[in-house]
Structure 1
Amino acid sequence: MNKTLITLAVSAAAVATGANAANVYSSEGTELNIGGRAEFRGDFIGNGGEEIDGTMADNSRFRLNVGGETQIANGLSGFGFYEAEQTTSDNEFKQRYLFAGLKGDFGAISFGRQDTAAVQISQMSDVTTFTGAQKTFIGASDEQQKNSIVYSGDFDALTVKASAILGEEKDTNGYGISAIYNLPMGLGLGLGYSAGDNGEGNGSGDAIIAGVNYTYESLYLAGTYTTGEVDDKDGSDFNGVELSAVYGFGNGFSIMGAYQLTDQKVNGKKEDKSDFFEITGDYAFNKNLNAYVAYLINNIDKDSPYAVDAEDTLRLGLKYSF
């Protein structure tokens, strides 16, 4: 696995904007791409920490996305993106992303249901099967947020994002800003801040997230840390750390590992929301098809209100991306 393949593995947790998408139309500065995935995910022993009474929990999913771009003038173009998902437990497609925007030398600005600014920091460590909790504490720092305006700008080694959520209900606005700076030796440093209101009569929440990653040949290492308050009226603050690693052997096989520990105050007492180690082995048949085996060692205390049954999980997966 070279740097390009590691980059693809890392970005797999982000919006599937088309590493494998097919270009179905291109004419006079306008193009249309279609992509997605069909992924079997069979969980054994535990399902989200809950003990499985039978043999296997089927958490398979299908995603379909459509993206397009059109040139308006020299250095200015418009774009749009839509993605929906269907699972084995739901017969209907559910919208994940729907946004449109403009991009040019100034960067890109988009409107609709999309990731907030802080998500680019959480994605630094969100590279394995069960990672990704760092963004979920407050809506202003989470992915797939509707009523969002997002700006993204690339300035050589610096990537800056800013977002605003214009809530439909009273006191539900939010905002965020983040930046990642990539040094020449393969080291990346990220920092973000988000804040938002929790609705009429409630307080507000905020989050600081910091991340670091390092790429060297076939090795990728990353870590993120987040802290803040879910609601400043009840003092429900939180903390989260996530560490991950990917190593490719160059023959289609790669190994991935992660550690995650998050906590949040409940009725004035700090309670663990997650505490686990993960080890995953992945084999890529080609750029479209890969199979994997993941094992999650659940260390959360069974007395935690978030623990359910605190069971481990063994996941078998087969994913076709198009």
Structure 2
Amino acid sequence: MNKHLIALAVTAATLSGAASAAQVYSDDTSSLAIGGRVEARALLSEQAKNNKVAPTLQKTENEVTDISRVRVNIDAKTQIADGVQGVGFFEREFVQDNSNDENRYLYAGVNSDQYGQIVYGKADGSLGMLTDFTDIMAYAGSVVGGTKLAVADRTSNNLAYAGNFGDLTFKANYVFSGAAYDADTGKKTDVHGFSTGAVYKVADTGLALGLGYGEQRDQNGVDTHKARSEQTFATASYTMGDLYFGGLYKSGRRDGKNLVNGDVTDTQGYEFAAAYTMGKTVFTTTYGFMKDENAHNVYDELANAAAVDATYYFNSNFRTYASYTFNMLDKNKVGKVAASDQFVLGARYDF
């Protein structure tokens, strides 16, 4: 049970209810499964409020925000040749206020039992399996992992390959150039590029190692220069009985428009994670730091936070959790709201 719970905690970000999806149709060649989750979440943090007496002064107060969400997915497969299947997957997320409802996945392709899977549509990039080394918490954490390049994250117009070869998992994807309109400027935007990554599990040791690289060019409606961005991720994890440890290092570079003075910005970040299983409860913690720095050693501290949480698994379908984030950004530089701590209570049902 304990090793099973650690596995659930470490892969929680990628499960999306798939582990308990219900098969609603099956014949000799095809199958269709429906899954997802219902997740009630209450967030306590400092929020900005209007100051009627002095509108130019920022006023904040603690407030509970309902950030509940629902995800529903459809997973379809059909046999098209010996050891080869046609696959399709769709997942939609609905949030409490309907402001950020989105199609998380929408892709179709071909899977080979021997050679791997290739799909096109809105699918994962290649660096998500690396950031999952530290993205293990029920709610918080992953301040570095959440800053992947668009082409290396879950995105549309994406041709993606994934293959498992014994203890080695390899991924590669390319996001095609396709102009869209920026809602704020009304001008065309464009992002295209590629990413690739590999994870190797050292047999019978509990050790896993990962390395990945991504590169993209993007142009928005304001900056006519097509900025070039690149990222490298290196990760490692170790599982020993009821204990799990993970680490991640990120190095990146961007030219053109950036967050600090100068024409080139270097990004550096690192993150550490740990999990411990005790009975049906999994305790997890992370610490992450990230900064942007230019050639003149002027830098912006983008993230500096530690988080702890506890998740109780009643069974594989239902869990409850509590999560607290200690935000260590300087409130005098980023403001009280951006530097505020967060506390979350949640209950999640997977189907």
Instruction: Indicate whether the TM-score tops 0.5.
Output: yes
The percentage of aligned residue pairs carrying the same residue is 32
* 2:213 matched residue in structure 1: 193
1:218 equivalent among 215, 219, 242? 242
Is 2:157 the partner of 1:138? no
Q: What is the match of residue 295 of structure 1?
A: 324
Report the TM-score, using the length of structure 2 for normalisation. 0.85
Give the structure 2 partner of residue 70 of structure 1: 78
Equivalent-residue separation in structure 1 for 2:22 and 2:85 (angstroms)? 20
1:60: which partner in 2? 68
Q: Is the 8 A contact 1:82 1:99 kept in 2?
A: yes
**Deviations 1:279-316, CA, capped at 9 Å, x for gaps:** 10111111111111111111111134487441111111
Farther-moved stretch of structure 1 (204-213 vs 259-268): 259-268
Deviation for aligned residue 1:17: 6.5
Shifted more, 218-227 versus 228-237: the winner is: 228-237
Decide which moves more: 194-203 or 173-182. 194-203
Aligned match of 1:181 in 194, 200, 207? 200
What is the CA–CA distance in structure 2 between the aligned matches of 1:307 and 1:111, rounded to whole Å? Answer: 42
Match of 1:88 in 2: 96
The 3-state SS of whatever aligns with 2:273 is: strand
What's the CA shift string for 1:42-84, capped at 9, x where partnerless?
A: 1113469x99635411111111111111111111101111111
| Match of residue 135 from structure 2 | 126
Structure 1 unaligned blocks of 5 or more: none
| AA aligned opposite 2:34 | I
Q: Which amino acid aligns with 2:291?
A: D
Distance 1:266 1:22, change over 3 A: farther
Deviation at 1:134, TM superposition (A): 2.0
Pairing 1:168–2:183 present: no
The alignment partner of 2:76 has SS state of strand
State the shift of 1:138 in Å. Answer: 2.1
Query: Which residue does 1:203 correspond to in 2?
Result: 227
Shift of 1:167: 2.1
Residue type at the aligned position of 1:177: T
Poorly superposed stretches of 4+, deviation over 4 Å: none
- Alignment-mate amino acid for residue 100 of structure 1: A
- Alignment partner, residue 116 of structure 1: 125
1:91-141 deviation line (CA, Å, top 9, x unaligned): 674211111111111111011101111111111111112223324242122
Match of 2:157 in 1: 147
The corresponding residue for 1:27 is 27
Matched, 1:263 2:291: yes
Change in Cα spacing, 1:257 to 1:92, as seen in structure 2 (3 Å) is closer
Output one character per residue of 1:141-174: Cα deviation in whole Å (capped at 9) or x when no partner. 22x2100111111111111000100020286321
Cα distance between partner residues in 2 of 1:321 and 1:19: 8
The aligned length equals: 319
**Is this contact kept in 1: 2:195–2:214, CA < 8 A?**
yes
Q: Tell me the secondary structure at the aligned position of residue 286 of structure 1.
A: coil
Change (3 A) 1:33 1:51: farther
- What CA distance in whole angstroms lies between the structure 2 residues aligned with 1:19 and 1:231? 41
Whole-Å separation in 2 of the counterparts to 1:98 and 1:306: 38
2:348 alignment partner in structure 1: 319
> Counterparts of 1:47 and 1:79 in 2: how far apart (Å)?
44
Report deviation, 1:230.
Answer: 3.4
- Partner Cα distance (1:92, 1:290) in 2: 24
Give the letter for the 1:179 counterpart: A
Contact 1:209 1:226 (C-alpha < 8 Å) held by counterparts: yes
Q: Distance in 1 between matches of 2:335 and 2:208?
A: 33
In 1, Cα distance between equivalents of 2:47 and 2:345: 12
Correspondence for 1:8: 8
Q: Measured at CA, do residues 86 and 306 of structure 1 come closer, stay the same or move farther in structure 2, by a change above 3 Å?
A: farther
Partner AA of 1:218 in structure 2? D
Greater C-alpha Rg:
2
Conservation of the 8 A alpha-carbon contact between 1:79 and 1:100 = yes
The 8 Å contact of residues 45 and 62 in structure 2, kept in 1 or not, is answered as no
Verify the 8 A CA contact 1:157 1:181 in the aligned structure 2: yes
